[in-house]
Structure 1
């Protein structure tokens, strides 16, 4: 049985959306995907840490971490915020590199 082109296009688009969504959602252990090759691992020291869409205290909140959560991070720091992933930034003062890890 032949599958119509429209069904293939819709199915392909659905798979692409699922892949993009799953790569942007936090993993169950609190880690988040990061971009780039320069990475480190950090622990959250604040009771609740807002993750923002840009390195700015007024940027949109796109996620949160509880105290003690661990996540991958980039060595990039701008305006007092460390890059966690594309469009995901957190205040550096509330992130502590894990023992034996350097974060630039």
Structure 2
């Protein structure tokens, strides 16, 4: 009985950890019609438009995500408290990124 409970608890922990990882790496914001593709091998998503700001997520090359038309200090806003360097983001064909 204890083994079954331990296995179920482990599955629950793995599921929760996977959900938080998907939230940080998966598609974000972007209700504006702007969608971008990542051109870097790995792109850090930061809490503010500053290279010294906390890293709050990462995208792998060729990942697509929604974004906002807001650009500040060389960073594009992806969602609230999520910014990525514009040098490594390419608007998807037909996207309106401003």
The alignment's C-alpha RMSD in Å is 2.1
- TM score, norm. by length of structure 1: 0.68
Aligned length: 79
Structure 1: state its 5+ residue gaps: 1-21
The 1:73/1:38 distance shift into structure 2, 3 A limit, reads same
Provide the rounded CA distance (Å) in 2 between the counterparts of 1:50 and 1:26: 10
- TM score, norm. by length of structure 2: 0.72
More helix by share: 2
Structure 2: state its 5+ residue gaps: 1-19
Q: Note if 1:73 corresponds to 2:67.
A: yes
Moved over 6 A (4+): none
